[in-house]
Amino acid sequence: MVSQKVYDEDAILKKFHPLLNKKNIAFQKHYLHREVCKAIVEYDNRDSSSQEIFHQILLIRIYRKKGLLDEAHALWKKAVLKARQTESFAFINLLKTEFEKMILFSNVHTSYDELHSIFKEHIISYDEYAEMITLRDIYAETLLLKRKAHFDLDEDHKAAISVLLHRINKTKAPVHNPSFWFRHYYRMNKATLLYLLNDIPGSWVLLRETFDDWKLHSQYLQTHGEYYIELMYMINYVGILRGSYNYVVDAFHDKRNDQILDPSQRANFEVIKFLALNKIYNKTARYDEVEKLVQFMKVKYRQWELLLNSDLNRTANLSLGIACFVLEQYDDALYFTKRAITYFKDGTREEQVAVANILLLLITYNLNNAKLFDSQYKATYTYFYNRQKKHPFETSLVQCLHRTFYMKENKEKTAAYQKTLKLLEENKDDNVQQMAFSIFNYPGWLSSKVQRISYRDYVARKVKAEAKVLV
């Protein structure tokens, strides 16, 4: 079958007749599929500590059933030490069950002093283990809340976050707990919830502590890389909002990241790294680096797209759209931003839909194509008209772009830009506006139009002026 470019069952039946026929081919295919899957599982987990412990548990059971109790005891000792070393709590429970069964069926002359001593040892107490399981369950809820929205939260959303945060704060002495995973779940829960409540400083402290903890326990990168990648995703968001650009760049270039070898995990990590560096280079006017990143992602993204979830696909396309817009590659900006819109159908990250709609209007504005702009304006207007949430800054931006697109005189346009800037300034303390503008600096773009320079030049001048003030 492997040698066939197109599957031809008749040819297979003819080649392997009479061993293979129409009556037994369905069973043979099922059997072959099962054996191939077994082989794939074994091969893919060949270096996995979890697979090693699981095989040891199965072998302990066989030894015990065969009456080979000395062999079972010796292997149990190795397995339980390995399980504790890797904090494989589920396997520890299975091993304790095997220990109890060995006691029930063992020879009375067998000494259990050493084994019993190992049995009584604990990484954490049963109460702490129960607390860790609770933290793990809360983390799943926290991730789902974050997937729904990062800002512009409704009241039910905020209430759910507050309830979870209250429960997390009741945890006793979490940062001093000997279990790495206990500390991880606690910190990531609290850091994510604080981020959703816009407590960026509080979230950032916890994320840095979590990153330091992972550096001390980098052995988990190969077995639990997904959790580390989520940490890096949060460092990307919170670190940049905090203005800790150097820390974020250093974190993504840390040599320990080379331990992420799984192709799917590697793709996710590299895309998150792109998101972080793209934002930082744009905010610091390093546009040569932005251009290199965009060229890199245009090639690599096609290879990675199927390995990413819709949230990351959407964010990657939106980030590419913004980068291309800033580089004045407007056709590409339109392409990637429209692709981002296609990933909003799963009902997540509603606040990004609004950002993308305004960005599309801005891109068509710069393309200076009346037909294209009119079409996008109708789509953008309809979206905001039908949306229940209303924000003044969104209305102001859409109206400004619509009015100025048809103006002929620069003085009129400048006056309209300045009027919109004034309205945005009056609303500057609004959290939703702040977060939306952290994705793209719309006031900066308006200011560039007032000064009649490119947006790139505006950001470069601003960065240079800020550097002089710091000196």
Note the pLDDT tens digit of each residue in 272-309.
999 999 999 999 999 999 999 999 999 999 999 999 98
293 with 324: CB under 8 angstroms?
no
Measuring CA to CA, which residue among 445, 446, 438 is closest to residue 420?
Answer: 446
Q: Are residues 63 and 38 in the same domain?
A: no
Domain that holds residue 90: 49-121
Q: Is the pLDDT score of 31 beyond 80?
A: no
Distance from C-alpha of 384 to C-alpha of 358, rounded to nearest angstrom: 10
Distance CA 273, CA 259 (A): 15
Question: Residue 346 has what pLDDT?
Answer: 65
Structural domains in the chain (count): 3
Q: Is residue 235 part of a domain?
A: no
In this prediction, residue 110 carries a pLDDT of 46
Residues 6+ apart with CB under 8 A from 468: none
Q: Establish if 183 belongs to a structural domain.
A: no
Q: How far apart are the first and last CA of the chain?
A: 70
Average confidence (pLDDT) over 254-258: 95
Task: Say if 27 falls within a structural domain.
Answer: yes
H/E element, 60: helix 49-65
Domain end position, chosen among 58, 89, 121:
121
* pLDDT for position 3: 66
Tell whether 360 and 385 lie within a shared domain: yes
Mean pLDDT is lowest, of 65-69, 266-270, 305-309, 393-397, for: 65-69
Q: Give the pLDDT confidence of 32-41 residue by residue, as tens digits.
A: 788 787 777 7
Arithmetic mean of pLDDT, 22-26: 79
Prediction pTM value: 0.83
Gap between the Cα atoms of 40 and 399, Å rounded:
57
Return the top range by mean pLDDT from 16-30, 119-133, 314-328: 314-328
Position 423 scores a pLDDT of 94
pLDDT interval class at 21 (50, 70, 90):
confident
- The predicted model gives 326-350 an average pLDDT of 87
Q: Classify residue 272: in a domain, yes or no.
A: no
Query: Does 403 lie in the same domain as 444?
Result: yes
The pLDDT confidence band at residue 112, using thresholds 50, 70 and 90, is low
Task: Indicate if 31 and 78 belong to the same structural domain.
Answer: no
Strands (E) across 194-344 are located at none
Residue 182 lies in a domain: no
288 within a domain of the structure (yes/no): no
Final residue of a domain: which of 76, 102, 121?
A: 121
Q: What is the mean pLDDT of residues 113-139?
A: 78
Looking at residue 347, what is its pLDDT? 67
Please report the beta strands in 178-319, taking only residues with DSSP state E, as ranges in sequence order.
none
Please give the pLDDT value at position 128: 85
Q: How confident is the model at residue 375 (pLDDT cuts 50, 70, 90)?
A: very high
16 and 115 inside one domain? no
Q: Considering the domain boundaries, does residue 35 fall inside one?
A: yes
The tokens describing 221, both together, are 């990168």
In this predicted model, what pLDDT tens digit does every residue of 181-227 receive, in sequence order?
A: 999 999 999 999 999 999 999 999 999 999 999 999 998 898 889 99
Q: What is the pLDDT of residue 270?
A: 97
